[in-house]
Structure 1
Amino acid sequence: MPDVNGSRRTYHSPVRAEAARRTRQAIVAAAAELFVERGYGAASLRDVARVAGVARPTVAAAFGSKPALLRQVLDEALAGDDEPVPVAQRPWFAPVWQATDPGAVLDAYAEVCTLIGRRAARIFEVVHQGAGDAAEVGGLWTMLTRNRRAGAEMVARHTAETGPLRPGLAMDQAIDHLWILNNPAHYADLVLERHWPEHDFRQWLAHQMRAGLLGPDHL
């Protein structure tokens, strides 16, 4: 509607915005279910729309393409919601930054990796399997791999700031240790496949991180 100066005012409806968000959430949930159940290639946008209870054009209008939808599913699995807040700034990551000695940093990071594994291990595998079949998924897998190493670097450097690493360990090696261990595939193999209790997995992961970065005196 034009204002008194003849220009148009932007109309914002909180009810409409919340309805749109609920629709997006339903689409993401349906896509996550189908991608895990069928794989990326076999799950069509039409199938996603059917499971979400919306029209196919609604899916396309909300996300644009299947690769973009996969990226959103992945982002929400990693973060836990659709808020645009980086993982390292999430409240559940805060114990890593708040820890005051190297062992406590790594214990907190093992907790973070366990949480991420619980939420994202299955969709990580979807991306991994789809990377060889679709170039856009291959690019997403490359980005995931780089982001995991960037996260490992942040934590390794923070660990070193709170106390010494084991003698003779170069920073690049410390980062590589955490980069290998923060892979959600470990959660998939040990918790989802071998049915380890999460508590046991978290303890194992913290033990491996301490052994790699700090040495036997910190186990």
Structure 2
Amino acid sequence: METWGHRSSVRGDGARRTRRAIVAAAGELFVRDGYQATSIAAVALAAGVDRSAVAAACGPKPALLRAVVDRALGGDDEPVPPADRPWFRPVWDASCPADVLDAYAGVCALLGGRASGVLGVVHRAAGTDPEVAELRRALRADRRDAASRVAAHAARTGRLRTGLDRATDVLWLLNDPAHYGALVHGRGWPEAAFREWLAGAMRASLLPAGRDGRPAGG
């Protein structure tokens, strides 16, 4: 006989699967057709659910877009910020500025591959939808916060050529996933080439001239 707890768990698992299907369908449609052109009805049809299920699982359309962005950035639907994810750990484990920046370039390439498409959707829709414009502002603030934390960690591990505020600005400029979209998706760069370029740009901007920021013999 099923217990109440077992039935509750089954329902919870079903709700999570439904939400994942809705978010996945919305992400594909937003990137393919654009935010304005994608209706909740179209998302429901693609996900194989009723229209009411979309609102119940994710809320109104701007909240659905946020859910798509969060999943793209995190790689799953767990409520864990990117900077606290295991794949961000090499940044915090690095012990000299060059290694910090190289690891962060790898993180930026990973996030660009996952999220540059849907973040482009956010950028384009922000001009016509105030709620999406607020989402864009929040995402920019999140990127700057990440840049600030990485710059501070790099400075703790060695000398930078700029102060922390300028270093944060540089990393905030360079960590924009739009660069990945332009060079990898737009120009056909291999991801490894993009990662190498980004790491080089970070090092050239933030490390003292003529040094790679690694300890002697490193």
Same fold (TM over 0.5): yes
1:63-97 C-alpha deviation (Å, 9 max, x unpaired): 12001100000001001000111111100000000
SS in 1 for 2:80: coil
Query: Is 1:202 equivalent to 2:195 in the alignment?
Result: yes
Match of 1:3 in 2: none
- Long gaps (5+) in structure 1: 1-8
Q: Distance in 2 between matches of 1:91 and 1:12?
A: 33
The answer to whether the 8 Å contact 2:30/2:38 transfers is yes
Q: Which has the higher contact order (CA 8 A, sep 6+)?
A: 2
Task: Report the RMSD for the aligned CA atoms in angstroms.
Answer: 1.3
Runs of 4+ aligned residues of structure 1 deviating over 4 Å after TM superposition are: 9-12
Correspondent of 1:108 among 100, 103, 112: 103
Query: Is 1:189 equivalent to 2:174 in the alignment?
Result: no
Q: Distance in 2 between matches of 1:11 and 1:164?
A: 56
1:144-171 C-alpha deviation (Å, 9 max, x unpaired): 11111111000000000000002xx122
Query: Is 1:37 equivalent to 2:25 in the alignment?
Result: no
Correspondent of 1:25 among 17, 20, 26: 20
Query: Is 1:176 equivalent to 2:149 in the alignment?
Result: no
Query: Is 1:156 equivalent to 2:166 in the alignment?
Result: no
Query: Is 1:95 equivalent to 2:90 in the alignment?
Result: yes
Q: Distance in 2 between matches of 1:76 and 1:170?
A: 34
> Structure 1 79/21 Cα, relative in aligned 2: closer, same or farther at 3 Å?
same
Correspondent of 1:70 among 53, 65, 69: 65
| Number of aligned positions between the proteins | 209
Q: Distance in 1 between matches of 2:7 and 2:144?
A: 41
Q: Distance in 2 between matches of 1:214 and 1:105?
A: 11
Report the TM-score when normalising by structure 1: 0.92
Match of 1:211 in 2: 204
Q: Distance in 1 between matches of 2:167 and 2:55?
A: 43
Report the TM-score when normalising by structure 2: 0.93
Percent of matched pairs sharing the same residue: 57
SS in 1 for 2:141: helix
Q: Distance in 2 between matches of 1:186 and 1:129?
A: 15
Greater mean deviation of Cα atoms: 79-88 or 180-189: 79-88
- Long gaps (5+) in structure 2: 213-218
The answer to whether the 8 Å contact 2:159/2:208 transfers is no
